[in-house]
Structure formats: C-alpha cells, structure tokens
Structure 1
C-alpha cells in the first residue's frame, strides 16, 4: 500500500537573499535545487524497507497468505528487534479482541490475559489510537492492576503496543513483549511502527486504495472468535439475569481467580460443569 506524503512548503526568501526558484525555469537544475524528504521521512522509509526484508526472511507457514504474513510479522519481532515475542490482535467488537497471529505460545498467552481481565496495552492502544509503550510493568501497577501482576507472573516485564488503523478506523494492534525492562529508543520505535504498517497493509490487502469491504473480508477470514466464549456468555447472562457485559465480566473474574483461560471457563459453562449464579457459587 503506497503511503501518501504531504509536501512541505519551501520557506520564502527574506531580505536580499535570492531565491533559487527565481531563476529561469528552462535552465537545468543544479545540486542545490534537489528536493529531499525531511530526515524523519527518510528514516521512516528506511525502517519500512528494513522491516519488509526482515518479514520476508521469516519462514513461511501452512496458513493462508494473510494469516501467514501476520505470523511472519510477529516472528520478525524476536528475530530483529531484540524483544521476546509479538502478537497481532484484531477487534471483533467494542469489548472483544482475538489473537490473529503470534510469534510463540507465550506471547499468545500474554495477549489472552487482556481478554480475560478486560485491561492491558492492546486495549488501550485501540482505545487511544496511539502507541502504548511501557518499559517496565512493575511501575504501572496502578494503571493495569490485574494485568501487570498476571503478565509479570508469566515473565513479561515490558510491553509495546501499536494500533493498526487507517484514519479514525482502528481494527487491531501489534503488541510486543520483552522479558526484561527496556526502552525502545528511536530506531527500534521506527521499526516497530514500520511493522505495524506492514500488518495494516496485509489486512487491507489493497494496492490501489483503502477498501472497507476488502478489510472486512480479510477480518472475516482471520478472526478466530471462539464461538464457545460467546455461547457461554449468553448462558451466563440468562443464569445471572444480567446483561452481556456483566456476564463476561463475571466469566473473566472467575478465570482470573482460578488461574484458567477464559476459553476454558467457557467450555466448563457449556458442558454444565460450571454455573455462575452468585459470588459464593463461583468457587
């Protein structure tokens, strides 16, 4: 997908300084007349080229082309950015995200914590529409009290999440993890942004402009919504005589208390092994 760049207007000459553009337009340009991109544009383009080569170098898998490309984006993170892993998370609705690709099971488990607990870096990046960069989870306990503790127990010490978006439309996040506290720095931040751009391009699958219908088709093919979670949510809503949001919150709370995934809790509800009625019965 080609990037649209806005030209920066040239500064007007002041005083007795002659403008280079005032000479005869038919005369050949000299070296001083060459138009160059601002340094930050050059750095962004260089980072994008570097990341494309890195992604292309990752081993291909057996999944479909879009899902496999996203997996290779995730694999590029530990391969070239000195981080432990990454996931691509896609939004199913306002309160539900799903892991579309991951570099390793540990990263997928870290991402599942956000779904189970209802908080975390990917959710915040999606809500704010800008990167969420936390170099040390131990210092953010007041922001994500449950997530910081649970992720730390899984060996995650730093998280960096970048929204996947086109304009105001946000449909996912590329979230990266590290096992030690660290700061990204300018070069790695640019490369993280470039990988997020590649993931966005992959989902759009468009070289001639943004097409919402093509975006929806890509998402439909990738989203593993785990219908069991939604079925169990409906059953819990009926049992609790509550709304869907409250039912999901109760399921998440039970998953967290019992150190299980939301998916496992959902299977228990569907099989009749677990009935959420009141706080005393959730044991």
Structure 2
C-alpha cells in the first residue's frame, strides 16, 4: 500500500463517518467524498446475501461493479476473500495477472485506479466497497486505515438491513421469557469478551445466526455453554 502523505483532512472522514452512522440510505456519497474519488460502489458478494449492487454513485461505478459480479473476479472479490484492502493504483499496469477479465474490461472503460475494502462482521462475509479514479493515483496508509473504519460502519449497516428483512417473530416463541434471558445473557458475554457495546454484541450474535441459518436462541445457548466463541 502507498506510504505517500495523507492529503485528505481528518474531518473529511469524520463527516463521512457521521453520515454513515446516521443511517441514511445513500452509503456511496460519503465514501466517495471521504477520499475525493471519482466514484464509489457498495455491493454484497456471494453467500449469504447474494451478489448485487447496493449503491453506486455513478453509472460507471455501477458498470464496474457489474463487471466484477458477472466475472466473479476483481479487487472487490479479492478484498472480501482476504479480508484486506486491495489497491490497484494504476490499472495500466496492475491486475492483469490476478483478474485478467476484469482488468481488461476496466482498461477499456479508461478507469485509472480501483481500491476495494472488505465488508464483514466477525466471520460473516458481506461484500465490498469499491472506490475508483479515472486517473492513476494512490491512497496513503492513513487513508486506507480510515476507509477500513468506514467499511466497518457500512458492514454493520448492511447486516442490520438484512436482518430487518427477516421475519423473526418466532425466534424463541416456544418459551419467550426464557429465550430473552438466554439471548440477553449471551449478548452480555459477547460484549464483555470483545469489549464492545451490547448493541454491537447483539448484532454479532444475530449476524452469526443469520450466516449459519440457525435461530438466535440456539446460537445464544451455544455461547453460554461455551461451545461457540464469537471473539472478534
């Protein structure tokens, strides 16, 4: 990754973080503005949420995402697979060996640089953020670190959206008071182990249940019995 000086003021990231935390539907504009990129794309990739574009700040961004989803390769897929940021700072020279089909298509679109940041919560892979520039450019290590923090916010947002679409009134319906106690106890254990708030701990618990296709109550029981470790 680049070690060039950080040319973005810190408050640009603070503004982006505030916008993303506010829960606005538009996830791409704050990400694009944080590092003054030509465009930003957020997508879910693979199981369990399926591969689709969540948002794109431009039509070109949507096309870039479509290419990667159709071909099943590219910086976005690699970022999700490795759980690490991926930088192709000059697409005239970067990416041909790793993603030959995507690389050729991006060059035809005259994209200069593409950066991807993984979206995941614990062991649950969600997707990727892709930022592109029409010119070759680099991101500083500080920018990459800050963008990774923004990616963590987006990951939580996408997981919450997915969970909100799931009809879960029967989670623990057979013994609702017992179920609440189990889930609350497990949430507290996860929060203490990871030194996070209870809301984030519950999200982690529900995210794991969503990923493995089990009721939250069953996952909570395994956490309490120490059969399952949800350490970050």
Answer whether TM exceeds 0.5 for this pair: yes
Q: TM-score range by the shorter chain?
A: 0.5 to 0.7
Higher RCO, Cα 8 Å, sep 6+? 2
Which 4+ runs in 1 deviate beyond 4 A? 55-58, 214-217
CA separation of 1:94/1:137 partners in 2, compared to 1, >3 Å: closer, same or farther?
farther
- Mapped to 2, the partners of 1:77 and 1:88 lie a distance apart of 9
- Mapped to 2, the partners of 1:149 and 1:202 lie a distance apart of 33
RMSD: 3.0
Residue of structure 2 in register with 1:119 after alignment: 73
Q: How does 1:236-275 map to 2 (within 5 A)?
A: none
Aligned residues: 162
Q: How does 1:168-179 map to 2 (within 5 A)?
A: 168-179=123-134
- Mapped to 2, the partners of 1:190 and 1:212 lie a distance apart of 26
Residue of structure 2 in register with 1:220 after alignment: none
Residue of structure 2 in register with 1:53 after alignment: 15
Contact 1:121 1:159 in 2 (8 A): yes
Query: Which residue, out of 11, 36, 42, partners 1:82?
Result: 36
TM-score in terms of structure 1 length: 0.50
Residue of structure 2 in register with 1:199 after alignment: 154
Contact 1:52 1:198 in 2 (8 A): no
TM-score in terms of structure 2 length: 0.60
- Mapped to 2, the partners of 1:176 and 1:134 lie a distance apart of 10
Residue of structure 2 in register with 1:225 after alignment: none
Q: How does 1:142-221 map to 2 (within 5 A)?
A: 142-205=97-160, 207-209=199-201, 210-213=203-206
CA separation of 1:129/1:187 partners in 2, compared to 1, >3 Å: closer, same or farther?
closer
- How far the C-alpha of 1:155 sits from its partner, in A, is 2.5
Contact 1:51 1:194 in 2 (8 A): no
Please list every run of 5 or more consecutive structure 2 residues that lacks an aligned counterpart in the other structure: 1-8, 161-197, 211-232
Contact 2:12 2:33 in 1 (8 A): no
Please list every run of 5 or more consecutive structure 1 residues that lacks an aligned counterpart in the other structure: 1-45, 59-64, 218-283
